[in-house]
Homo-oligomer: A and B are copies of this chain.
């Protein structure tokens, strides 16, 4: 009988944090689902103090009026941005980039949950998101906040003059965790990503096509013709190849990914089914070894190998990802599956994980919650 070790406070890397020096954080965009999830997790984070929640056109609104489940925090939502050491931004695309230059001033840490600092090529913004990036000079220094791929860069933000994290999208997180070991090995010859998401990924605004009776007892594809998240997926899979020292022609399948998301009648969860034609012959033993090596020691990624594929239910409410890889001898294809909770590892939890690294805190601080099942 034993248990998973969690770093005790005394093992904190970098500058020691305690209650006397808790990091003061603010959440901008606290009214939506990602904002609420940030508060849920940050309220229990041992090394931070929430100094403000900001919502549009609201002032002194009890948080419980907007998020009843958070009323015991006693927090309010206000319209003014408070002074803080770090800002979490959960805003629509285009909204955070307009504000970050000012907020990031003086070395304040910015973790943006929107897409404005995920893409390195400023040309991708008009192309995929329809706006011209207002602060393109900040893109080069921003770090894509997927710790399993960019841990060292995130940790290097501790002492950086400009400290901006672009927290990954939900679909890219599930997809990249499923595929990174293949990309690092140069195995992705051809790629189809067929993803399934719970409804909370679509946000909290009232929309006719997200009413209960339209979504329940149904499944449908959407984003046909090119969902925006494919830009991140292609960028980061290509970066995996480069990080592994592979030539540019490796992983030809990551250049134009066929990505189709689907809406599933459930609140939370993303499952990404990645269908890969390998660029050379492989077998299950090689794949098992690749994944075991890639994720050994990762606190939030579990490689599963038996029974049915991993279920989104088993990560509900937690920052854990579950990954499975399977070689089908008959078709000579690989199926790699990743599951996450889209609001935790796919949004707020991952943002905090990246924040922890960028702030010199233990990576798992505030994220130890186990999944809530059933």
Q: A: which residues have CB within 8 A of B?
A: 1-10, 18-19, 33, 36, 40, 43-44, 46, 50-53, 67-76, 78, 82, 190, 192, 194, 196, 198-200, 204-222, 224-226, 256-258, 260, 262-269, 271, 273, 275, 277, 302, 304, 308-318, 320, 322, 324, 326, 328, 330-333, 335, 337, 339, 368-374
A1-B2, A2-B75, A192-B192 known; 15 new pairs, CB 8 Å cut-off, are A1-B78, A2-B5, A3-B50, A5-B7, A68-B322, A69-B373, A190-B190, A194-B273, A216-B266, A216-B374, A218-B313, A219-B271, A224-B309, A317-B372, A369-B369
A41's nearest neighbour on chain B, judged by CB, is B370
Q: A211 contacts which chain B residues (CB < 8 A)?
A: 199, 204, 206-207, 210-212
Q: How many copies does the complex hold?
A: 4
In contact, A76 and B1 (Cβ under 8 angstroms) = yes
In contact, B212 and A313 (Cβ under 8 angstroms) = no
Shortest Cβ gap from A23 to chain B (Å): 14
In contact, B36 and A373 (Cβ under 8 angstroms) = yes
Q: A53 contacts which chain B residues (CB < 8 A)?
A: 1
Give Cα A164–Cα B320 distance, bound, in whole angstroms.
36
Q: A258 contacts which chain B residues (CB < 8 A)?
A: 275, 328, 331, 333, 335
The residue that A220 contacts in the complex, of B224, B271, B317, B331, with Cβ under 8 A, is B271
Give Cα A7–Cα B10 distance, bound, in whole angstroms.
11
Give Cα A204–Cα B207 distance, bound, in whole angstroms.
11
The residue that A269 contacts in the complex, of B207, B219, B275, with Cβ under 8 A, is B219
In contact, B1 and A5 (Cβ under 8 angstroms) = no
A344's nearest neighbour on chain B, judged by CB, is B372
In contact, A271 and B314 (Cβ under 8 angstroms) = no
Q: A220 contacts which chain B residues (CB < 8 A)?
A: 271, 308-313, 339
In contact, B216 and A44 (Cβ under 8 angstroms) = no
Q: A51 contacts which chain B residues (CB < 8 A)?
A: 1
In contact, A268 and B374 (Cβ under 8 angstroms) = yes
Q: Which of A4, A9, A72, A320 has the most CB of B within 10 A?
A: A4
Q: A316 contacts which chain B residues (CB < 8 A)?
A: 69, 217-218, 372
Q: Check A370/B70 contact, CB under 8 A, given A212-B211, A265-B266, A328-B226.
A: yes
In contact, A216 and B265 (Cβ under 8 angstroms) = yes
In contact, B217 and A213 (Cβ under 8 angstroms) = no
In contact, A335 and B224 (Cβ under 8 angstroms) = yes
27 contacts between A and B (CB under 8 A): A2-B5, A3-B4, A3-B43, A4-B6, A6-B9, A33-B213, A33-B374, A70-B371, A190-B190, A200-B213, A213-B267, A214-B313, A216-B216, A217-B312, A218-B269, A218-B312, A218-B313, A219-B312, A220-B271, A220-B309, A221-B308, A221-B335, A222-B308, A224-B326, A224-B328, A260-B335, A268-B374
